Amino acid sequence: MPSTTNQDPASGKRQIVIIAGGVGAARFIDGMQQIHPPDSISVICNVGDDLTWNGLKVCPDIDTVIYTLAGIEGELGWGIQDDFTSMLDELTVLGDEAWFRIGNRDLATHLIRNRILQNGGTLSEATGELCRRRNVSVNVRPVTDDNHPTMIRTTEGILTFQEYFVARQSEPVITNIEFPNKDSALPAPGILDLISTAESIYIAPSNPFVSIEPILQIPGIRDALIESKAPKIAISPIIGGKAIKGPAAKMLYEMGHDVSALGVAKIYAPFIDLFVYDTIDQELTPSMDSLAIQTAHCDTIMKDRLGRKQVAVNVTALLNEVQKY
């Protein structure tokens, strides 16, 4: 497996780069910040879930990462803990639809972000400012400052991701996933350099279709990942044939893939060096061993903060072990 001692050109520090989207990714990043200096970690976040809500740009994946790293995430992994919804309740009283839930405290994030954007700032700048205000030292970045929506084509028509995931509760059958701005959206400043100079690159336990693929669809990202000399590690979001969070298992089935960690490994195999899956799935080891990448299993379930830290320790140990050979 390749290794590197490259450094982030901006900070001069060796960077651990994590490609991420969703609750599982946020929890893994929290585990990593418990065992590595937070400012040595850079996160490239999915923006395909972003939406405009009552005129405000909302970035669910970015916000979930920031809230989790700040230790204020909600009980279900998104939003802010102990938030209240009197504002949303009043909108409902006034006859507005309220299928997308935003709490009062959560609203403050979106107001700050949109003020920065309206004053000419970029999404990268707004994200950096939100991290600073939440005392998050991990370098959280959007993959692009441009609009880059994920569209879900279903047997019932085309839906935005939030319409599919939240309003329709992932019920419609998927026939394709599309990225209409994939050729025009550009990598945010510094993103390609982060990938090319990384010490190591992790693909967090995220949905491969709607969290990771939108990132790879940005021009130059996939090529930079393939060409990077850093070791590239992916962690399975599928455990025992099921997703811990979200519709990943359903999407694997409807998109024609094996509904298993092996199915995810085959998707990532062209551009990673090591695939990590849960010990629950160790019966897949013979099939995993047939792939043209290194594979290994360990406990990957993150029930609490201690569990997140232990998974980060486990995955790092596997990386160190395979790098010996």
275-306 per-position pLDDT tens digit: 999 999 999 999 999 999 999 999 999 999 99
Entry pTM = 0.94
Q: What is the mean pLDDT of residues 20-36?
A: 97
Strand partners, 80: 73
DSSP state of 82: T
For the chain, percent of residues with pLDDT exceeding 90? 90
135 or 244: which carries more pLDDT confidence? 135
pLDDT (tens digit, 9 = 90+) per residue, 167-180? Answer: 999 999 999 999 99
Residues 243 and 265: their CA atoms lie apart, in Å, by 14
Residues 222 and 216: their CA atoms lie apart, in Å, by 5
Mean pLDDT for the chain overall: 94
For the chain, percent of residues with pLDDT exceeding 70? 95
Would you say residue 325 has pLDDT above 80?
no
Residues 204 and 206: their CA atoms lie apart, in Å, by 6
Domains observed in the chain: 16-322 (3.40.50.10680)
Strand partners, 52: 57
Would you say residue 1 has pLDDT above 70?
no
Q: Find the range with the poorest average confidence among 84-98, 149-163, 297-311.
A: 84-98
Q: What is the dihedral of CA 183, 185, 189, 194, to 10 degrees?
A: -60
Strand partners, 18: 43, 202
Kind plus residue range of the DSSP H or E element containing 60: helix 60-70
Kind plus residue range of the DSSP H or E element containing 195: helix 191-196
Contact 142, 45 (CB under 8 A): yes
Q: Find the range with the poorest average confidence among 10-24, 35-49, 208-222, 241-255.
A: 10-24
Would you say residue 8 has pLDDT above 60?
no
Residues 257 and 243: their CA atoms lie apart, in Å, by 14
Phi, psi of 46 (to 5 degrees): -65, 140
Which residues, at least 6 apart from 35, have a Cβ–Cβ distance to it below 8 Å?
309, 312, 313, 316
